[in-house]
Amino acid sequence: MFLLWPLLFLHVSAQSRTLFDDRQNQPTKEGSVRLVGALASSGRVEVYHDGQWGSVCDDGWDLVEAQVVCRQMGFPGAISAIPGGTYGEGSGPIWLDDMKCKGSESSLSDCSFKGWAVTDCTHKEDAGVVCEAGKYITSNRQYSVDNSLGLSDDLGLLFDRGDGCDFSIKVQDLSEEAELTFCVHRLILMIYPELNLTNESRNLSVNVSQTCHSHVSAFLRYFYTRQIEVSITSAQCVHQLAFIFGVKKLMEDVGRVFTLLIPQDTTFQTQVSMYEYAVRTGDFVLQENVLQYLSWNGEFLLSSPVWSSVSFHMMDALLQRSDLIVKDEALLLKALERWIQDKGDEINSEQQVSLLNHIRFLLIPVDELYEIQFSSSALHQNHEKLYLTGLLKGFQFNALPFSKFRNKMDNMNEYLPRIYTRDEWSVLINVTTLKYPNHGQYNRIKTFSTPAHTSALYREQKVQWRAQVFLNAQECSNNGISCRSFPVARFLAVGNQNRYANSIRFSNRLILSCKNENNVFHVQDFKTDMAVISANGSMSMPNPCPDDYSFIFVVRPEFI
């Protein structure tokens, strides 16, 4: 392989043809959207189809559809879906009616609708949106994928110039309306057997989403240089192109980059899209990485606009996890009920039951457990037997010793706590800045008490805790411990923990999050009361706020 590349260069550089790309002066693409109004981020929604712009009827128009429009136009998301007539009446055709988006679509025309121009609406019902105008990606940092192993930079220049190209690659979107054409070198592409090219091959056609068109050139250049820069805005497209062309090494490399990119979108829209993409491509590692991040940020995910667009299979996977961070189980149940109501007929009764069965009724605080039976929600009424069964088991768990019924439990996960952060079970320590470790050291020590267990049997029996964060060796030494790296967190039970040693195990957790931001990037347990945060960056997720973050200490009691 190393001897072949110089020969390839000598062979193709002796010829002279030019690279061409029809992105210049390209007409408006099929399915494009625009907003007609006084501001760039709000207005009447219009869609380009069959050579002309047309409007969208507001039947079925909701925040999910608005989110798709705003993301398609490059905005962070939608603030609101606006009913017909607010931004005036359109004059062209009404292209779309009875819209039904899932929320993960890359363009509005990918959503379900009656059919082009099939409508019973008038222009008085033309829909609009208000989009968020600010940036939602905290960083568009580039990550370099470099497998060049000393290949000459001249190969990249060869691609840029197009000297001697003799092979064309046509890239179309799924509607086959928009097309890019690139001229490359057949002999270089023949290095990749997955393409099944022959000496007689002169062209290749592939279909990719329109949103990925702008990344095709950089991807094709990788064939020449084995180098490519990947960011949160390009990673999924590069991975998709590597999948289509069968470049397995690049797929693996970009898959690893995904993990570095996950924390960069605080709206969770990119993460949800990544997960759906990982499901389609069978990338189980990416699925797990995204689920882990979304679980750690569960509190913020529940209240975000993207919550209503989460798919059934993603919701099913999230609810089975014990590393899900939420205030408490009752809040999670309410969020699930809201999600099911928002989905409407999209989620059938059997699917509703399967999701509700993941709720850990045993761990809902007993006073909130009592209130559930008086709920007037339609979901409660439709699945009254399921709720009553959960309530009964919950009251039993709160009234009887665990030893009485543990052997009769069908699902032992029911009594295992998630990571509950309500005030009763956690304490937060803000570190003003890691750059000045001697500043505010006395503010990095807090004491508080919790019940011995979530069960009502133990609610009046308290355990005292001391949470501390050490930022230098002197602080550790003053507390009788030796530290080799910083920061270090210590979580001690003060006094009476041992009385529960035969019945309760405390599997406590440390959560690191960006101060004043919705971003949890690290969760770990305590070993012998200590949690050492590695200073070399080897955290479970990249740290998006390396000098300014918060420590949340969470108590997690489990019956033994």
Q: Is residue 206 part of a domain?
A: yes
Q: Which pLDDT score is estimated for 79?
A: 79
Residues near 292 by Cβ (< 8 Å), separated by ≥ 6? 323, 540
pLDDT of residue 5: 27
State the average pLDDT for the chain.
82
Residue 196: partners with Cβ closer than 8 Å, 6 or more residues away: none
Is 276 part of any domain? no
- At residue 162, φ and ψ (nearest 5 deg) are 75, 20
Number of Cβ within 10 Å of residue 482's Cβ equals: 7
| Last residue within a domain, chosen from 110, 131, 152 | 131
The verdict on residue 321 lying in a domain is no
Residue 145 sits in the same domain as residue 125? no
Domain match, 405 and 484 both? no
My answer on whether omega of the bond before 487 falls inside 30° of 0, hence cis, is yes
Q: The CATH number of the domain where 459 resides is what?
A: 2.60.210
Q: Any idea what the CATH number is for the domain that residue 171 is in?
A: 3.30.710.10
Is residue 495 within 8 A of residue 452, CB to CB? The reply is: no
Is residue 339 within 8 A of residue 314, CB to CB? The reply is no
Angle between helices 235-245 and 248-261 (to 10 degrees): 160
Q: Angle at Cα 104 formed by Cα 98 and Cα 110, nearest 5°?
A: 50
Residue 499, Cβ neighbours under 10 Å: how many? Answer: 12
Q: Is residue 26 part of a domain?
A: no
pLDDT at 322: 94
Verify that 457 and 387 share a domain, yes or no.
no
Question: Domain for residue 308, yes or no?
Answer: no
Q: Contact at 8 Å (CB) between 531 and 417? A: no
Please give the model's pTM, rounded to 2 decimal places. Answer: 0.68
Residue 117: give the domain boundaries. Answer: 40-131
- My answer on whether 257 and 358 are in the same domain is no
Residue 219 CA: distances (Å) to CA of 214, 233, 244, 329, 445: 10, 14, 12, 45, 51
Last residue in a domain, options 218, 233, 264 = 264
156 and 260 together in one domain: yes
In this structure, the answer to whether residues 117 and 245 fall within a common structural domain is no
The tally of domains found in the chain comes to 4
Q: Burial letters for 403-422: b for 16+ Cβ neighbours within 10 Å, e otherwise?
A: eeeeeeeeeeebbebbbbbe
Q: At what angle do helices 269-281 and 284-296 cross, to 10 degrees?
A: 150
Residue 228 pLDDT:
92
Residue 17 confidence (pLDDT)? 25
188 belongs to a structural domain:
yes
Write down the pLDDT at residue 528: 86
Ramachandran angles phi, psi of 358, nearest 5°? -85, -10
498 and 544 fall within a common domain? yes
pLDDT at res. 190: 84
Whether 147 and 10 share a structural domain? yes
Regarding whether 214 and 76 lie in a shared domain, the answer is no
Report residue 87 as tokens.
Answer: 């931004």
Pairing outcome for strands 325-326 and 419-420: parallel
Which residues pair with residue 43 across a beta bridge? 129
| Same domain, residue pair 428 and 550 | yes
Any domain includes 513: yes
User: Based on the domain organization, do 8 and 147 belong to the same domain?
Assistant: yes
In sequence order, which residues have a C-beta less than 8 Å from that of residue 220 and are 6 or more positions away?
159, 169, 182, 184
**Spans of the chain, pLDDT less than 50:** 1-26, 135-136, 535-539
In a domain, 124, yes or no: yes
Beta carbons of 172 and 205 less than 8 angstroms apart:
yes
Per-residue pLDDT tens over the stretch 460-491: 889 999 999 988 888 888 888 888 777 889 99
The pairing of strands 488-494 and 462-470 is antiparallel
434, 411: one domain: no
Residue that terminates a domain, selected from 97, 131, 165: 131
Q: What is the CATH number of the domain that holds 85?
A: 3.10.250.10
Closest to 315 measured CA to CA, from 280, 334, 340, 293: 340
Q: Across the strands, what pairs with 180?
A: 171
Give the whole-angstrom CA distance, residue 530 versus residue 489. Answer: 6
